[in-house]
């Protein structure tokens, strides 16, 4: 029996989302027609969680802070029917060059600016992008509660937080932290080791992982241990898929039921991602990949 979990994930009042999400870090094109087609391709392939952030656009050929949200806003103006098909997620709390500001005034302004750029009345999932260690979680919780009470956000998550930081925020909220967005891939196994996935399984929080292909290094092989490349290729040959598909299946195999965010800007690659659902990975496979990634045998 394969460990790969291709079922829909439950996000409570936000409903169900697909096991693969569409991430917008690279969504920097100003060609609105092409951008509409890309979002439609994601939605048509079951990627109904659309994940962006206010800071996206500062890099990856972007033209500045907020420009990716503006691009998505242009898509929604041209094709407003797409809004009802998606769970819209964005993130705030990074304010270059500070670099972080999750103070009540800071996070309220960030959220309201995101709403304006996106051209929507409500953000479905608002995530704190990185922890502001100089804001008390009770103060942040009060601001998030006010935003939710005002109908500006529906649910709250975190990104790049330690389990302790997440629990500190959760302790002050009158509603749950529903998502946790860490980096996770066959080349970056920290959430399995640092308690992030354990906390998700304990609380029912959904992990939504970024960079499941290690920023493309799974495909290029850059910095990849030879043993890991060999193991991925061997499974790929057995399953008649490429290395990237095996790596995506590996992410979907963890029992915390992660959602994998992919950021390809090619509709054909969006469609091809579904091949991961058909990959069979058993315990021998996943532990082979873990040991090859870490370079040491498990005790």
Average pLDDT over all residues of the chain: 97
pLDDT digits (tens, 9 = 90+) for 7-39: 999 999 999 999 999 999 999 999 999 999 999
Residue indicated by tokens 């891939």: 185
Q: What is the pLDDT of residue 1?
A: 87
Asked whether residue 62 carries a pLDDT value surpassing 80, the answer given is no
Neighbours of 7 (CB within 10 A): 11
Q: What is the pLDDT of residue 59?
A: 82
If 0-12 CB within 10 Å is exposed, 13-18 middle and 19+ buried, where does residue 161 land?
buried
Task: Express as a percent the part of the chain with pLDDT over 70.
Answer: 100
pLDDT digits (tens, 9 = 90+) for 82-116: 999 999 999 999 999 999 999 999 999 999 999 99
Residue indicated by tokens 């996943």: 286
CATH architecture of 9-294: Alpha-Beta Barrel (3.20)
Q: Which two tokens stand for residue 172?
A: 């002050």
Neighbours of 286 (CB within 10 A): 18
Q: What is the pLDDT of residue 63?
A: 79
Three-class DSSP category at 105: helix
Angle between helices 32-44 and 67-78 (to 10 degrees): 80
Asked whether residue 125 carries a pLDDT value surpassing 90, the answer given is yes
Domain residue spans of the chain? 9-294
How far is Cα 294 from Cα 297, in angstroms, rounded to an integer? Answer: 8
Q: Is residue 126 annotated as part of the catalytic site, yes or no?
A: no
Could you tell me the maximum CA-CA distance found in the chain, to the nearest angstrom? 56
Q: Which two tokens stand for residue 203?
A: 């609380």
Which residue in 56, 100, 126, 287 is the catalytic one? 56
Contacts (Cβ under 8 Å, ≥6 apart) of 216: none
Q: Is it true that the peptide bond before 142 is cis, omega within 30 degrees of 0?
A: no
According to DSSP, residue 100 is labeled B
Q: What is the mean pLDDT of residues 166-189?
A: 98
Using alpha carbons only, give the angle 158, 163, 164 rounded to the nearest 5 degrees.
110
Asked whether residue 3 carries a pLDDT value surpassing 90, the answer given is yes
| Integer CA distances (angstroms), 188 to 29, 178, 192, 221, 277, in order | 29, 23, 9, 14, 21
Q: Are strands 153-159 and 123-128 parallel, antiparallel or unpaired?
A: parallel
Residue indicated by tokens 């029996």: 1
Q: Which two tokens stand for residue 50?
A: 């659309």
């Amino acid at each position: 029996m394969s460990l790969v979990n291709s079922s829909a994930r439950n996000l409570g009042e936000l409903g169900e989302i697909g096991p693969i999400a569409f991430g917008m870090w690279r969504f920097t094109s100003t060609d609105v027609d092409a951008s509409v087609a890309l979002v439609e391709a994601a939605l048509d392939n079951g990627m109904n969680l659309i994940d962006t952030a206010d800071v996206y656009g500062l890099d990856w050929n972007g033209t500045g802070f907020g420009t990716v949200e503006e691009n998505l806003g242009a898509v929604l103006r041209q094709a407003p029917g797409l809004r009802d098909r998606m769970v819209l997620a964005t993130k705030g709390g990074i304010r270059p060059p500070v670099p972080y500001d999750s103070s009540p005034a800071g996070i309220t302004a960030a959220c309201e600016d995101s709403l304006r750029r996106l051209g929507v009345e409500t953000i479905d999932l608002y995530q704190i992008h990185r922890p502001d260690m100089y804001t008390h979680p009770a103060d942040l919780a009060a601001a998030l509660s006010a935003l939710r009470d005002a109908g500006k956000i529906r649910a709250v998550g975190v990104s790049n937080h330690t389990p302790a930081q997440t629990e500190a925020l959760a302790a002050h909220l009158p509603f749950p932290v529903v998502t946790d967005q860490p980096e996770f891939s066959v080349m970056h196994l920290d959430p399995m080791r640092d308690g992030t996935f354990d906390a998700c399984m304990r609380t029912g929080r959904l992990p939504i992982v970024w960079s499941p292909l290690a920023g493309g290094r799974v495909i290029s092989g850059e910095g990849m241990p030879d043993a890991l490349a060999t193991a991925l290729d061997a499974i790929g040959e057995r399953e008649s898929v490429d290395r990237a598909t095996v790596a995506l299946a590996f992410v979907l195999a963890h029992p915390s039921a992660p959602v994998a965010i992919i950021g390809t800007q090619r509709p054909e690659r969006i469609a091809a991602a579904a091949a991961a659902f058909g990959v069979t990975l058993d315990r021998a496979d996943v532990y082979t990949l873990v040991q090859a990634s870490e370079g040491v045998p498990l005790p």
